[in-house]
Structure 1
Amino acid sequence: MKYLFAFALILSVFSSTSVLAQESKTMTIKTRKNVSPEDVLYIIRSNSAEEFPVEHASLKTIDSDWIEAVDVLKDTSAVERYGDKGANGVVIITLKEDEAAANEFLKKLKESK
């Protein structure tokens, strides 16, 4: 099975103050073997524990100031929690509760569900 190997994505994506405002920045995602970044399951979580799966491309719209925590699940823990969708690894991004822009982003995710 394929598994997420390294987590350079979040470090490189969120090292700038605003990924959206700095489009010239590139992000590097390192994965094991034949796993592409698009194969990884990305979850945006609110502090109230609501979870929203998002596409890899959506990560560019998240401002690093909104992020409270980033967790990476791989191997059996990812599959146990998210089933086959988590077979290539799971990146869980928890957003801060007190960020108005982050709350607006979460609101849009809820509406698109």
Structure 2
Amino acid sequence: MAAAEAQKLLEASTKIIGVSTTYMVHVKDPGNVPKVPTLFLKPTSSFLHAGTANASIEVPEPLETLRHEAEFAIVISRRARDVPEASAMDYVGGNQEMLLQPPTTAL
């Protein structure tokens, strides 16, 4: 996907919905893996678009650092619910690489 197309997708986005069961590296006890995905939201206020002039990430108190995680994002292009598996790709508007920077400790 061209950079301009990816930027349009991000600018039109309203949120990021993350799926925590994909973070298997963080699961310490393999017998404690959730049976259903746990979802979490990131609002557009947490986005920092690539190429933004003078962009910076502020590290809130009491944190001293953030870690980074490379992610693969699938962009859902329209509202969907109870979509049959055979039709799922009809709702995909594109994909994008992402860099998440979660805190290293909880606030």
TM range (shorter): 0.3 to 0.5
- Greater strand percent: which structure? 2
Which one has a larger percent helix, Structure 1 or Structure 2? 1
TM-score relative to the length of structure 1: 0.32
Q: Which has the larger radius of gyration?
A: 2
**TM-score calculated relative to the size of structure 2:** 0.33
